[in-house]
C-alpha cells in the first residue's frame, strides 16, 4: 500500500519565522506560503533531495492544529504523509482493518492538489498519518 514519504509536517506558531529559520539558518529552499482555508492551515514546503518538510500554522477559527499547538506552543512534529497509488482502495482496506479514517472518510484535495486522507494518531502509535494519492 505505502509508497514514498511525501512529506513530514511540523506545526509552528509563526510560519514566517519558521520559514526564515529554515531558509537562513538551514539554507533550505522554502516555497511561498499557501493558504488552505478548507483545511484551516497555511503551509510552506521545504524542498529536500529525497522528500519535503511541510511547515504549517493555523488559519482561521477551528483549525485542526490549534489544539496541537496549545499542547506544543513552540511547535512540533505533526504528521507524516505517505504516498499511495489508490486512496479509495487504501481507505477501504484500512477501514476493514479497523483503522479510523478521519473526517467523513472521503478524500479531500490537499496542498498538492491531490486527494488526501488522515488516519487517527491513536491507531498508528501516536502518529497522525496522512495518505496522498500520486
Ligand atoms: C491537507 C492539507 C495539508 C497537506 O499536506 O496537503 C495538510 O497536511 S493539513 C494538516 C492539518 N489537518 C489535519 O491535521 C487534519 C487531521 N487532523 C485531525 O482531524 C485532528 O487534528 C485530530 C483528530 C488528529 C486531533 O484533533 P484534536 O487535537 O482536536 O483532538 P484531541 O485533542 O482530542 O486529540 C486526540 C488525541 O490525539 C492526540 N493528537 C492530536 N493531534 C496529534 C498529532 N498531530 N500527532 C499525534 N497525536 C495527536 C492528542 O494529543 C490526543 O491524545 P490524548 O492522549 O487523548 O490527549
Ligand atoms: Co500534510
Please provide the DSSP assignment of 30-78 as one string: EPPPEEETTTTEEEEEEE-SS-EEEEEEE-STT-TTHHHHHHSTT-EEE
Q: What is the residue with the minimal CA distance to atom 33 of ligand 1? A: 67
Residue in 128, 129, 132, 133 to alter for ligand 1 test, most ligand atoms within 8 A of Cβ: 128
Q: Is 67 in the pocket of ligand 1 (CB under 6 A)?
A: yes
**In whole angstroms, what is the distance from residue 123 CA to residue 92 CA?**
15
| Full-model pTM | 0.97
Q: Domain residues of the chain, as ranges?
A: 2-133
Predicted confidence (pLDDT) per residue in 22-45, tens digit: 999 999 999 999 999 999 999 999
Domain covering 2-133, topology: 2,3-Dihydroxybiphenyl 1,2-Dioxygenase; domain 1 (3.10.180)
For 98-124, what is each residue's pLDDT tens digit?
999 999 989 999 999 999 999 999 999
Residue whose Cα lies nearest atom 32 of ligand 1: it is 67
ipTM value > 0.95: yes
Amino acid at each position: 500500500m505505502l509508497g514514498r514519504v511525501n512529506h513530514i509536517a511540523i506545526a509552528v506558531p509563526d510560519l514566517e519565522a519558521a520559514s526564515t529559520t529554515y531558509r537562513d539558518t538551514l539554507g533550505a529552499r522554502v516555497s511561498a506560503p499557501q493558504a488552505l482555508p478548507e483545511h484551516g492551515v497555511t503551509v510552506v514546503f521545504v524542498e529536500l533531495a529525497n522528500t519535503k518538510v511541510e511547515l504549517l500554522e493555523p488559519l482561521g477559527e477551528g483549525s485542526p492544529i490549534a489544539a496541537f499547538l496549545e499542547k506544543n506552543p513552540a511547535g512540533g512534529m505533526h504528521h507524516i504523509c505517505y504516498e499511495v497509488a489508490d486512496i479509495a482502495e487504501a481507505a477501504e482496506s484500512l477501514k476493514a482493518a479497523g483503522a479510523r479514517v478521519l473526517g467523513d472518510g472521503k478524500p479531500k484535495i490537499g496542498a498538492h492538489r491531490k486527494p488526501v486522507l488522515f488516519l487517527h494518531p491513536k491507531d498508528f502509535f501516536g502518529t497522525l498519518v496522512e495518505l496522498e494519492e500520486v
